[in-house]
Amino acid sequence: MELADILFSQGFGTRRVCYGLVQSGLVQWAYTGGDWQQTLDGAFWFDELEGLQLKVQGVHWPYQEKAYILLHKPAGYECSQKPSTYPSIFTLLPAPLRQRPVKGGQTGVQPIGRLDQDTTGLLLLTDDGTFIHRLSSPKHMVPKVYEVHACHPVTDKQIQQLLAGVVLHDSNEQVKADEVEQHSETHISLTLHAGKYHQVKRMLAAVGNRVERLHRSRIGDLDLPESLQPGQWRWLSPAEVAALYEKIK
């Protein structure tokens, strides 16, 4: 693949812009562990893309055929490219992740499921449509763990109701928690494999309680790293992507 096409695939602009970046001496490249090199030829050809590292205008960027992103979503952000009231989570991501070309789909990475504007925690984004579809599907039973801080003490009866199943307001369908772990009077960990609109909040309301704060701490076996601060993101490792794919075969 030509260098300019590689830059285009990573979201650094149109092919014309990418050729201009190379010709202006703003792009360096290296393979993992190797020395940085430079060319002013946008048509410079790469036979091997694995381990390719780029520096574009001084910013380090590893080549990724598909982008898999873990974001620590802060409160006060909407999971939408066209937010109505609060700023978009996409403002927390660098431009190339928002501009990656997607064949037959919406440009850039997209969130896998959504978190409400006041809900914090682990959010995955990718430009891999198959991954989004499978990880979002309830039939694959990928567990998601939510840290629920309730307004009132969570009783044993309420926990048993959550495990047995409750009928949500304005719905005839029964939903239930896969697991409930109590940490304090008002703090429980709630594990679900589905993700209906405002489901956790509606489940707590159905048993006579109310959510004060909600935080997603885990998807599958992937925990939100303690070192990742609200608003920060990182790439998923190949091993982490493989582990998630294993759950959605």
Q: Catalytic site residues?
A: 116
First to last CA, the chain: 30
CA proximity to 32, closest of 63, 1, 11, 3: 63
Q: Which of 111, 114, 27 is nearest to 67 (CA)?
A: 111
Question: Edge-to-edge, what's the strand order for the sheet holding 37-38?
Answer: 37-38, 27-31, 52-56, 59-62
Structure token digits, residue 101: 């070309």
Instruction: Give percent helix, percent strand, percent coil of the chain, each to the nearest 5.
Output: 25, 30, 45
Q: How far from chain centre, in Å, is Cα 66? A: 13
The letter for the amino acid at 10 is Q
